[in-house]
Amino acid sequence: MADLSNAQLAGLIDLLQQLLAAHQRLLGLALARQNAMQTCDLGRLNDLLERERPEVQALERLEKQRKYLLHQLRIAAGPGQLGANPSITEIAERSPEPVRSELLGLAGKLKTVLTELGRVNRMNAKVSQGVTTGLAKVLGALTGLAQHAGLYLANGRKAVIKGVHLLDALA
């Protein structure tokens, strides 16, 4: 890996540090979203969504930079030296110390944060799905009650369970 310049490796380290920081910020937002769901704080959920959008966009830009830099490293390493999609570990194994240790450390930290982010996001998705399913059941029950309670639509017809939304019915 002697063909890789110190500048390229330093650029990779810098980029990995930026990726790690961005993923840590997303993890913080995901944990805050979890807390907001537990307290049913819809205003905070909306705020967190607005804060998450630019973070995701920044991560997309960093990911493009990472792919480009890995492509440049493959070219610099020479034919057959690195795979088509080299991992950070693969690059680290062929790098001199202390770059090797720094790359391996960053790769480990990234893996840990990404694993935790995935876990929290799966949990948040399950909670969101459960709330949505529960609300659908409640609305279905209320709509059924509306049919039997003699509620009428704005056009004067009696509310029927099929094709009517509870909010369309008038008491």
Cis peptide before 98 (omega within 30 of 0): yes
Q: What is the pLDDT of residue 171?
A: 38
Does some domain include residue 170? no
Cα–Cα dist 120/131, whole Å: 16
Q: What is the pLDDT of residue 164?
A: 44
Helix 6-38 with 99-148: angle, nearest 10 deg: 30
Cα–Cα dist 32/130, whole Å: 18
Tell me which residue has tokens 């490796």: 9
Q: What is the pLDDT of residue 166?
A: 46
Does some domain include residue 63? yes
Q: Which amino acid is at 85?
A: N
Query: Could you give the C-alpha distances from 168 to 9, 139, 151, 156, in angstroms and in order?
Result: 63, 12, 10, 12
Q: What is the pLDDT of residue 159?
A: 62
Q: Which residues share a beta bridge with 153?
A: 169
Cα 147 to chain center, whole Å? Answer: 42
* CATH value at residue 72: 1.20.58.300
Q: Which two tokens stand for residue 126?
A: 């399950």
Q: What is the pLDDT of residue 39?
A: 86
State which residues form the domain around 45: 6-128
Does some domain include residue 166? no
Structurally, the chain folds into a number of domains equal to 1
Q: What is the pLDDT of residue 170?
A: 41
Q: What is the pLDDT of residue 149?
A: 59
Does some domain include residue 151? no
Q: What is the pLDDT of residue 86?
A: 85
Would you call 69 helix, strand, or coil by DSSP? helix
Q: What is the pLDDT of residue 148?
A: 56
Cα–Cα dist 89/101, whole Å: 10
pLDDT along the chain (171 residues), means of 10: 73 96 96 88 90 95 93 83 83 89 96 96 84 70 59 69 48 38
Q: What is the pLDDT of residue 76?
A: 82
Q: Is the dihedral of CA 38, 140, 158, 148 positive or negative?
A: negative
